[in-house]
Homo-oligomer: A and B are copies of this chain.
Amino acid sequence: MTVHSEQLVYQGPGGPFEGVAAWDDATDAARPAVLMVPNFLGQKPSDTRIVERLARLGYAGLVADVFGQGKRTTWESPDPAIYMNELNADRPLLLERLKASLAALAALPQADASRMIVIGYCFGGKAALDLARGGGDVLAAVSFHGLYDRPPFETQSPMKAKVLVCHGWDDRLSPPETLVGLGRELTEAKADWQLLAFGDAGHAFTDRAAKKGEGFGYDEAADRRSWAALRRLLRELFGDLNEHADD
């Protein structure tokens, strides 16, 4: 098994965009594929590690870029949220860019366009939900410590994508009340949805670089359990691929 990852430049409204695609070279067959939407900083090495991990499990993966080539920030940037804020103010544009990213994934010879899902972290979790809301051609959407405010466009109903929401109960950006609102929305949309919430975990619980504090930061148990939940959903959808590759 050789996991291969490379930059992928693709077009879309406001592009070009630059993501990172990953797959296992051991086979030529088209395989189930995962679009991964990063947090507000945009694509970075820790995101590449996630799609490489999925590649080891037998999937094709693409780290989406919804900001545009070269538009990246770090925690130390003067305004780390600058690109996210632009898209939070224009959710229909975010949706178009998500669909362009999904199309770029679907166009990979390694990806089976009929078997795709979207996952996302933080702002990317919101984006994953938006792609499901907006009728993106995905079988599932998984949000890790996402944000639950509704976009101005209508939520697809019945929602085609299964939804899994992985949530830290203490999330200082997404208090329980917002979760109750999301539950109502997804129920009204007749989605097959699940919520997995973790006590004593906050926003960014998967992010090893985020120091644990009030309602925020890395939590080993929540990270491990939410990853396992993603794998279960993948198994439920696609059966076992390389089941034990990252045990």
Residues of A that sit less than 8 Å from B by CB? 163, 169-170, 176-177, 180, 183, 186-187, 190-200, 221, 225, 228, 232
Contact = CB atoms under 8 A, between A and B. Distances in A.
B199 A193 contact: yes
A230 B187 CA distance: 24
Tell me the dominant secondary structure on chain A's binding face. mixed
B199 A221 contact: no
Contact of A199 (B177, B194, B228, B232): B194
A183 B200 contact: no
A142 to B, nearest CB: 14
Contacts of A197: 183, 194-197
Contacts of A196: 194-197
Contacts of A221: 192
A193 B219 CA distance: 13
Nearest to A176: B180
A127 to B, nearest CB: 20
B195 A200 contact: no
The count of identical subunits is: 2
28 contacts: A163-B199, A169-B187, A169-B193, A169-B195, A170-B187, A176-B180, A176-B183, A177-B180, A183-B197, A183-B199, A186-B199, A187-B199, A187-B200, A191-B200, A192-B199, A192-B200, A193-B198, A193-B200, A194-B197, A194-B198, A194-B199, A194-B225, A195-B195, A195-B196, A195-B197, A195-B199, A196-B196, A228-B232
A13 B191 CA distance: 47
Contacts of A186: 199
Nearest to A221: B192
Given A187-B200, A195-B195, A197-B197, 13 more contacts: A163-B199, A176-B180, A183-B197, A191-B199, A191-B200, A192-B199, A193-B200, A194-B196, A194-B198, A194-B199, A194-B225, A195-B199, A196-B197
Contacts of A169: 183, 187, 193, 195
A229 to B, nearest CB: 9
A192 B187 CA distance: 28
A170 B183 CA distance: 9
